[in-house]
Amino acid sequence: MAKPEVSEAWRQHSTISRDEILARLKDRALVIVNVMPRETYEESHIPGSINLPVGEIEAKARQLISNSLQEIAIYCAGPA
């Protein structure tokens, strides 16, 4: 089944590339969020990213990032 066009556009719009993250590691305007469990996060993560395990998003997201307009990049383990 062919995916509708708008959906594809939406996908492109809402992803962030590796290069952009790399370039913006020190950018204060971008918050990088790691959604893996705490232990996995402790093992390795993108420098400067914060940990917000998926299960805790509901409870803690507002505390961590109070601004709804905040630019956020989320990532997890990636395709294994």
Partner 1 sequence: MGYINVRHYIGGMADWGAGGAQVERSSTSTEMFQARPSVGRNVARHLSWLEILANWPLERLICFWLGMIMAFGVVYWLAGISMGWGLQAGNTEVKPDLSGLATAIYFSFVTALSIGYGDVIPLGALRILAVIEGIAGLLIFGCVISKLVSRRQEELMEEIQRTTFDDRLDRVRTNLHLVFSDLGAVQQLQAERGVLPEQVLRRLESTVRVFRGELQTIHDLLYRSSVEPDEETLESLLANLVICLQSLAEKNGSRPSGDGQSAALDAALRSISNLAKEICGECVPRVYAPSLKESMDQIQELARRIA
Hey, which residues between 22 and 51 contact partner 1 (CB under 8 A)?
A: 22, 28-29, 31-32, 36, 38, 41-51
3-state SS assignment for residue 30? strand
Distance (Å, whole) CA 58 – CA 40: 20
Q: Which amino acid is at 26?
A: K
Residue from 23, 54, 55, 62 that binds partner 1 (CB under 8 A)? 62
**Contact call for residue 54 and partner 1 (CB under 8 A):** no
Residue 52: both structure tokens together: 């917000």
CA distances from 79 to 75, 76 (A): 11, 9
CB of 55 to partner 1, least distance (A): 14
Residues that bind partner 1 (CB under 8 A): 3-7, 10, 14-18, 21-22, 28-29, 31-32, 36, 38, 41-51, 57-58, 60-66, 68-80
